[in-house]
Amino acid sequence: QGGTALVWRGRMLVVETAWGAITFDPQRGGTIVDIDVAGYDLVGGVSHDVISYRDSGGLWRMGQEIHGGRWSRVGATSDVPATVRATVCADGTARVVVSVRLEDRPMSIVHSVDPARPLIITTVSGTPRLRRSITLAVRGTGPAVGVMMHQPGAVIERSLERWYRPTFWPLHSFAAPIRDDSGSERGGGMVVAAANPTGVHVSGDGTVEMVVARTAVKETAFGAIPVMAPAWGLRFGSQRASVAVDLTSGDVIARGRRLSGLLDAAVGRPAPAFPVAVDDIDVDVVAVKPASRGEGVVVRLRNWAPRHERTARLELSGPGSLTGASIVDSRERDLMPLAITGGGAEIPLVGHLVSVRLLSSAASCGAGIGGGEGAVRIENAPPG
């Protein structure tokens, strides 16, 4: 359906799409062993392997971050055979379900393969053994010299390792291995995203590992000596995590934002259908409401990088056009008019929160953003 086909070639399951093919090997834990795009293998080995590490860490630190701590690989899904089932949805998306045992514990790994581009969303669920960290390892497309990642306030570049081996950096939304010191590969290669904050490690060969489950209860040194830590516990249920991998090309930031949005929608957190859009990655639209004082609507923006004074462009994402905009205070009193250029307004960003009044064309008609037939309509809910 939708140009996607499922083919068994010997023991391998091949998902054929319009952009290429992905091969899953049930004898190696249902891992991905080939991603073919125009005859070029994007992985060159085992990818999407779920790995279990013995971890003597706890809430605040991982085992390798403690003197005398323990961090060691004890198992992986690629070490054992798995059961693989696959279906194709009406839109052409292939859904591959892998049932496998990790350290004799059942694990479920569900892959959703995009029919139009090399993009995979993977959900891992299961109950690991005690004192374990579980990662999803994605094979890289080439050697890496660093990692580019989004953090609140900026997109930054970090080294592969800092104090610890391995170094797991806090992943806020998306990240990408840096493949070349010269910067020539900063706009291509793999981009990964996580549905929830987690840790990410990039090795020198470009393999990316993201933590998808963890049962480390309290930091201990040399296997017995407890490290001072205020929080610990012993009760764990099934854990579930979703991550996404984009193997297309293009600007890393644009691809990362798109990938994070697709992943959020896939796990049931679609972006609010705000009728406005902002062009700055570090600015979120947190509210759009009818103005309580004056005309139009009031848009509230959250600026994650308040130390950098700059402007962000705000435009309508639906029909209609802006005719007026102004900065307002918390009581919706107009403070400063803003110029409209090219259908949008340049919003000066000073501080964490900025409120803007927007007016659309034909404001006197009493409909839409400030009024206007065909404009995006926002109304107060009726009483009750």
CA 228 to chain centre: 33
Rounded to whole angstroms, the Cα distance separating 211 from 53 reads: 10
Q: 279: how many CB neighbours lie within 10 A of its CB?
A: 12
Rounded to whole angstroms, the Cα distance separating 37 from 147 reads: 24
- SS3 letters across 222-238: CCCEECCCCCCCCCCCC
Decide if 198 contacts 172 (C-beta within 8 A).
no
117: left (phi over 0), alpha (psi -120 to 50) or beta: beta
Q: At 6, list the tokens.
A: 């499922």
The pLDDT averaged over each successive group of 10 residues in the chain (384 residues) is: 85 95 97 92 90 90 85 96 96 96 97 96 96 94 90 86 92 90 56 95 95 89 72 78 94 90 89 82 87 91 80 85 92 94 90 90 44 37 36
Rounded to whole angstroms, the Cα distance separating 290 from 360 reads: 13
What pLDDT, on a 0 to 100 scale, did the predictor assign at position 1? 58
Q: 342: which DSSP letter?
A: T
What pLDDT, on a 0 to 100 scale, did the predictor assign at position 375? 37
Neighbouring-strand partners of residue 314: 278, 345
Across 114-251, where does the E strand assignment appear?
Answer: 119-126, 132-138, 146-151, 154-158, 169-171, 174-178, 191-194, 198-202, 208-214, 220-221, 225-226, 239-246
What pLDDT, on a 0 to 100 scale, did the predictor assign at position 182? 47
Q: Count Cα atoms within 13 angstroms, Cβ side, for 277.
A: 10
**Three-class SS of residue 318?**
coil
The letter for the amino acid at 196 is: N
Rounded to whole angstroms, the Cα distance separating 259 from 176 reads: 12
Q: Which ranges constitute the DSSP H helices of 111-251?
A: none
CA distances from 115 to 133, 147, 246 (A): 32, 28, 13
Q: 50: how many CB neighbours lie within 10 A of its CB?
A: 26
What pLDDT, on a 0 to 100 scale, did the predictor assign at position 9? 94
Q: Indicate the helix (H) or strand (E) that contains 262.
A: helix 252-266
Range 61-81 burial, b when 16+ CB lie within 10 A, else e: bbbbbbeebbbeeebbbbebe
Q: All domains of the chain, ordered by start, with CATH? A: 5-266 (2.70.98.30), 276-365 (2.60.40.2220)
Match 């010299």 to its residue by tokens: 145
What pLDDT, on a 0 to 100 scale, did the predictor assign at position 369? 43
Global pTM value:
0.78
